[in-house]
Amino acid sequence: MASLLFVAHGAAGAEPPRAALLAAGCKTLAERVHALPGSGPVFLGSYEPAPGGAALAGALTQAAFVYDNALASIALIACHRPGDARRIADAILQASRQDRHYRDARVRNAYRAGALPPGPAPLPGWWDTPSKRWFEDAYQAGTATGNVAWAALSLLAVYEATRERRYLDGAAALMGWVDPGRLDATAPAGYVGGEFGHEPQPLRQGWKSTEHNVDAYAVFRWLAARTGDARWHAVAGRARRFVSAMWEPGDGRFLIGTRDDGHTPNTGPSALDASLWPLLAMPDAPADWRRSLAWVERAHRIDGGYGFNAHPDGVWTEGTAQAALALQAAGRSDDARPLWALLMSQRAPSGLLFATPEPSIRTGLSIGPTSKTDDFRYFHLPHLSATAWAVLAAAGWNPFRPGGCLAAGYPGDAAPACGA
């Protein structure tokens, strides 16, 4: 299996740590799907307790984050396991089509892990014994633009593998929630963060994220190629222009996005994914964007890997896998080679990779508008998306493009004929 994947992506004879990482990751993801009963739609739990550690916090106990599951589905396609990927994609379709309140094809940020019952996909939650109340997390009940786009990327990946039209149609329906509803024409025009909190009146998040607009661009471009609908081409251009506006040539990096007004650049934090994903999603981007890799080396490198933010306090496992993939896309596979052993070292006994080897790492970001501090952190917990990103990196599979197209020498060169 592993050797077939490497041959398919031009990496035959891959070094043993990379091959072992791929084989182990594919096995773990498939086992997670097979552990759930039946053959129908499933959402996989995002976290599990660390070996010998405390129980998960209530908000994480049942949580299956859509972003994590979308990545797992795409990784299973890279593993040549479309049947397993389809079960997650079918859960995304069901959640989009049947919600307990909304009728606009959105997905929530998280659902309850497990095999889905018929009807609206249940949300995660927990029982608080002291107050004798059932709680749901406000972020999980909300909808982030980037998460909707990742759900659509998952459906498109499964569509490419199966050619079943319902996945293509489902991706288009999801992106119909993004555009025009999340479009803000305030300069620089682009797509805002989404909605936070519970129905019927969630809070609008007016900031614009570089990462979210990269995600949206990738889906819009893919839809344009597969449907022939000029609308998708036009809206892809909008998202791309926003990303271009976030390029900071002085530092050679991408800004994280705007502040809440949707206009003022947020020049403070630096996010690893915002620095790397444009290189993967936009193969025909300006050659100057390659300098973001040098920024990542200067600002995000730590302990042989990469951290979430500038001057990080620890390795971020999934971000390190993202860097390994971006380095391959830039034709620098030799620079990615030391990362395989580091990623493999984060494998928990269950097979999932730890989100970080540290007790916790900061991101410098807040979970939502009601947060009083920068409370968005990663913890030393086995994590689904860390595992999925490691699989994608080891497989040399680009989740932003049809067929996982990962062409060396990008961006800045003429795009090859390998998909949208």
Calculate what percentage of the chain has a pLDDT beyond 70: 94
Torsion of CA 188, 190, 195, 200, to 10 degrees: 100
Q: What's the average model confidence in pLDDT over 374-393?
A: 98
> What pLDDT score was predicted for residue 266?
98
Residue 410 above 50 pLDDT? Answer: no
Query: CA-to-CA distance for 111 and 120, rounded, in angstroms?
Result: 10
Q: Residue 233 in contact with residue 226, Cβ under 8 Å?
A: no
Say if residue 157's pLDDT is above 50. Answer: yes
Q: What is the CA radius of gyration of the chain?
A: 20
Whole-angstrom CA distances from 242 to 67, 207, 247, 398 are 22, 12, 9, 22
Is 285 or 157 the better-scoring residue by pLDDT? 157
Residue 133's beta-bridge partner residues?
A: 128
Half-sphere exposure (Cβ direction) of 21: Cα atoms closer than 13 Å: 31
Distance, CA of 30 to chain centre: 19
Residue 7 pLDDT > 50 = no
Reported as a single tens digit per residue, the pLDDT across 221-279 is 999 999 999 999 999 999 999 999 999 999 999 999 999 999 999 999 999 999 999 99
Mean pLDDT of 193-201: 98
pLDDT at 416: 44
Using pLDDT thresholds of 50, 70 and 90, give the confidence band for residue 401.
very high
Return the beta strands (E) in 10-49 as ranges.
Answer: 42-43
Is residue 216's pLDDT more than 50? yes
Confidence of residue 164 (pLDDT cuts 50, 70, 90): very high
Q: Specify the amino acid at residue 314.
A: G
Quote the tokens at residue 103.
Answer: 């009728």
Mean pLDDT (the chain) is 94
Nearest-5° angle of CA 23, CA 358, CA 19? 15
% of the chain with per-residue pLDDT over 90: 91
**d(C-alpha 231, C-alpha 175), whole Å:** 11
Handedness of CA 341, 346, 349, 355 (dihedral sign): negative
Separation of alpha carbons 178 and 150, rounded Å: 12
Closest CA to 293 of 256, 345, 336: 336
Answer yes or no: is pLDDT of 10 > 70: no
Calpha distance 332→321 (Å, rounded): 14
Counting beta carbons within 10 angstroms of the beta carbon of residue 368, is it exposed (0 to 12), middle (13 to 18) or buried (19 or more)? Answer: middle
Question: If pLDDT is split at 50, 70 and 90, which confidence band does 418 have?
Answer: low
Q: Which domains are delineated in the chain?
A: 2-404 (1.50.10.10)
Token pair of 402 as six digits: 């049809």
Within a 10 A sphere around the Cβ of 294, how many other Cβ atoms?
A: 12
Q: Is residue 94 packed enough to be buried (19+ CB in 10 Å), middle (13-18) or exposed (0-12)?
A: buried
CA dihedral 295, 298, 304, 308 (to 10 degrees): -60
Give the E-state strand segments of 114-269 in sequence order: 114-115, 126-128, 133-135, 143-144, 183-184, 190-196, 203-208, 247-248, 253-254
Quick one: 90 exposed, middle or buried, by C-beta within 10 A (0-12, 13-18, 19+)? buried
Q: Please, which residues have CB within 8 angstroms of residue 122's CB and are 6 or more apart in sequence?
A: 111, 112, 116
pLDDT in tens, 101-127: 999 999 999 999 999 999 999 999 999
181 phi and psi, to 5 degrees? -60, -35
Split at pLDDT 50, 70, 90, the class of 9 is low
Separation of first and last alpha carbons in the chain: 26
Q: According to the model, what pLDDT value does residue 407 have?
A: 75
Query: What are the pLDDT digits (tens) for 132-145?
Result: 999 999 999 999 99
